[in-house]
């Protein structure tokens, strides 16, 4: 090749690119990408070529559990492919290596390298942790992701988890959840009094204010408890997963929900393990976890809308909570937030960040999404 010709051509192309990049500059919006969590240490790139790292990852779900468990399995396969086999994930479904709800402590201590679960399971350690999953009448999936990634969510979450030697990443979202399965129809607030219901997190605390007795049960005991009348109602997730539990056979009333409008799932690492990874490895994990976070959200929506049709064909009676129950729920949420904020300044700090973001989001939703849905 003519070296002089090559250099002249390269210079011309470069000039064209610079010219195109600078055109209409006055119309371009500057975006601060520094707010998006990323790793930029160029020195670390490719230093792990030829080396293999195995990540011991335990989940709170059974093996091949629909959507959530399968989502983690897809993450592991994707990471293996993107890393060219240099990053391997050894998956341990619930109770194989550690119990389902012991994954937090096992990762914190370094017994395992990472886990996949939900932040509200750890509210006993810090009530603020429940807020990173979501709140009743709060964020939907899109809103909580925007707060997490571009707001203060991830920063606050990582700050509080660091005290437990943990580093969290977004690991999925259940999308809006249904209000639950009830053996008897709820016609008034009085019907909630003394009701025994399986429901965790802040939703359970709100329900308690309405006179409900919240019960925590492992997944394998819910159906039998509902069938035998040990509990009167249960929430789970949504049509796609609920149908597999068979709740419709013993509790025909299926209610729309407000307790978990968009619940985050987590992919959390032992922080010491994470810190030892190269920048290259961290970026590959970050990319794959972001993909899992998005794909799980979309799959829940896809599966839910198709499964709802099947449930209706099985005679399920779809209901909405009476207005007085919903209004009492909103009032109860305010009381729960006030009480937990008074006891825990970290809860108060996280909730204040959520409230600011949510207020702006509601204002925009009222003039955009709500308008569109009303006319659609």
pLDDT at position 371? 95
Q: How many domains does the chain have?
A: 2
199 shares its domain with 65 = no
Q: Are residues 238 and 324 in the same domain?
A: yes
- What is the β-pairing status of strands 53-59 and 87-92? parallel
Is residue 34 assigned to a domain? no
Given a cut of 70, is residue 14 above it in pLDDT?
Answer: no
Residue 292 is predicted with a pLDDT of 98
Q: Assess whether 106 and 229 both reside in one domain.
A: no
Clarify whether residues 134 and 184 are in a common domain: no
The residue range of the domain holding 247 is: 180-261+318-354
Examine residue 41 and state whether it is found in any structural domain, yes or no: no
Domain boundary pick from 244, 273, 303: 303
Q: Are residues 164 and 279 in the same domain?
A: yes
pLDDT at res. 343:
98
Give Cα 256 distance to the centre of its chain.
19
CATH number of residue 192's parent domain: 3.40.190.10
Q: How confident is the model at residue 216 (pLDDT cuts 50, 70, 90)?
A: confident
Going by pLDDT thresholds of 50, 70 and 90, the confidence category of residue 46 is: low
220 versus 52: the higher-pLDDT residue is 52
Task: Say whether both 124 and 232 belong to one domain.
Answer: no
Domain boundary among 244, 275, 303: 303
Site of tokens 């989502």: 71
Q: Are residues 235 and 102 in the same domain?
A: no
Residue with token string 């779900």: 61
With tokens 């997490």, the residue in question is 148
Considering the domain architecture, whether residues 217 and 78 belong to the same structural domain is answered as no
What is the per-residue pLDDT for 47? 55
Higher pLDDT, 220 or 91: 91
Q: What is the pLDDT of residue 29?
A: 35
Residue 58 falls within a domain, yes or no? yes
Q: CATH number, domain at 82?
A: 3.40.190.170
In angstroms, rounded to a whole number, what is the distance separating the alpha carbons of residues 107 and 157? 16
Task: Name the token pair of 329.
Answer: 């729920």
Asked if residue 249 and residue 329 are part of one domain, the reply reads: yes
- Tens of pLDDT along 110-142? 999 999 999 999 999 999 999 999 899 999 999
3-state secondary structure the chain: CCHHHHHHHHHHHHHHHHHHHHCCHHHCCCCCHHHCCCCCCHHHCCCCCCCCEEEEEEECCCCCCCCHHHHHHHHHHHHHHHCCCCEEEEEECCCCCCCHHHHHHHHHHCCCCEEEECHHHHCCCCHHHHHHCCCCCCCCHHHHHHHHHHCCHHHHHHHHHHCCCEEEEEEEECCCCCCEEECCCCCCHHHHCCCEEECCHHHHHHHHHCCCEEECCCHHHHHHHHHCCCCCEECCCCHHHHHHHCHHHCCCEEECCCCCCCCEEEEEEEHHHHHHCCHHHHHHHHHHHHHHHHHHHHHHHHHHHHHHHHHHHCCCEEECCCHHHHHHHHHHHHHHHHHHHHHCHHHHHHHHHHHHHHHHHHHHHHHCHHHHHHHC
Band (217; pLDDT cuts 50, 70, 90): confident
Is 325 among the domain residues? Answer: yes
pLDDT in tens, 17-35: 333 343 443 333 333 434 5
Q: Is residue 39 over pLDDT 50?
A: no
> Mean per-residue pLDDT for 269-281?
97
Within 10 angstroms of residue 91's Cβ, the number of other Cβ atoms is 18
- Tell me, yes or no, whether 284 lies in a domain: yes
Same domain, 63 and 97: yes
Percentage of the chain lying above the pLDDT 70 cut: 87
What is the model's pLDDT at position 57? 98
Give the rounded distance of the alpha carbon of 160 from its chain centre.
17
pLDDT at 37 over 60: no
Give the burial class of 137: count Cβ atoms within 10 A of its Cβ; 0-12 exposed, 13-18 middle, 19 or more buried.
Answer: middle
What pLDDT, on the 0 to 100 scale, is given for residue 59? 97
pLDDT at 49: 60
- Give the C-alpha separation, 263 to 296, whole Å: 11
Instruction: Please tell me the predicted confidence (pLDDT) of residue 51.
Output: 83
At 220, the pLDDT band (50, 70, 90 cuts) reads confident
Residue 193 has pLDDT above 90, yes or no: yes
What pLDDT score was predicted for residue 48? 58
Judge whether 375 lies within some domain.
no
Domain co-membership, 237 together with 266: no
Cβ(188)–Cβ(211) under 8 Å?
no
Q: Is residue 308 part of a domain?
A: no
pLDDT value at residue 218: 77
Q: Global pTM?
A: 0.86
* CA angle centred on 331, ends 219 and 152, rounded to 5°: 70
Dump pLDDT digits (tens) for 283-336.
999 999 999 999 999 999 999 999 999 999 999 999 999 999 999 999 999 999
Domain for residue 96, yes or no? yes
Burial code (b: 16+ CB inside 10 Å, e: under 16) for 307-341 equals bbeebeeeebeebebbeebbebbeebbeebbeebb
Q: Are residues 195 and 322 both part of a single domain?
A: yes
Alpha carbon separation from 9 to 22, 49, 163, 165, 175 (Å, rounded): 20, 34, 56, 54, 52
């Amino acid at each position: 090749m003519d070296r002089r010709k090559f250099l002249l051509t390269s210079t011309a192309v470069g000039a064209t690119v610079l010219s195109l990049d600078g055109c209409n500059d006055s119309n371009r919006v500057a975006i601060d990408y520094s707010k998006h969590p990323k790793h930029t240490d160029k020195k670390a790139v490719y230093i792990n070529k030829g080396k293999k790292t195995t990540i011991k990852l335990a989940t709170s779900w059974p093996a091949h559990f629909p959507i959530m468990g399968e989502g983690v399995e897809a993450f592991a396969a994707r990471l293996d492919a993107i890393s060219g086999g240099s990053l391997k994930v050894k998956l341990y479904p619930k109770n194989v290596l550690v119990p389902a709800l012991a994954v937090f402590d096992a990762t914190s201590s370094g017994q395992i390298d990472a886990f996949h679960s939900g932040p509200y399971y750890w509210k006993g350690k810090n009530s603020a942790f429940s807020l990173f999953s979501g709140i009743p009448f709060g964020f939907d999936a899109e809103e909580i992701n925007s707060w997490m990634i571009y707001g203060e969510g991830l920063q606050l979450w990582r700050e509080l988890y660091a005290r437990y030697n943990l580093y969290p990443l977004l690991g999925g979202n259940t999308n809006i959840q249904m209000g639950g399965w009830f053996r008897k129809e709820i016609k008034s607030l009085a019907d909630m009094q003394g009701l025994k219901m399986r429901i965790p997190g802040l939703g359970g605390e709100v329900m308690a204010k309405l006179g409900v007795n919240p019960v925590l049960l492992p997944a394998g005991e819910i159906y039998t408890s509902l069938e035998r009348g040990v509990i009167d109602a249960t929430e789970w997730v949504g049509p796609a997963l609920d149908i597999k539990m068979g709740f419709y056979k013993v509790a025909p009333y299926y209610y729309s929900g407000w307790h978990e409008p968009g619940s985050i799932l987590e992919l959390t690492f032992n922080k010491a393990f994470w810190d030892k990874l190269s920048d290259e490895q961290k970026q590959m994990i970050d990319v794959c976890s972001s993909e899992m976070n998005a794909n799980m959200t979309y799959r829940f929506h896809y599966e839910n809308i198709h499964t709802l049709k099947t449930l209706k064909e099985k005679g399920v009676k779809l209901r909405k909570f009476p207005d007085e129950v919903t209004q009492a729920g909103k009032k109860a949420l305010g009381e729960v937030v006030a009480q937990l904020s008074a006891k825990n300044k970290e809860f108060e700090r996280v909730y204040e960040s959520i409230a600011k973001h949510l207020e702006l989001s509601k204002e925009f939703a009222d003039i955009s999404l709500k308008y569109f849905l009303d006319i659609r």
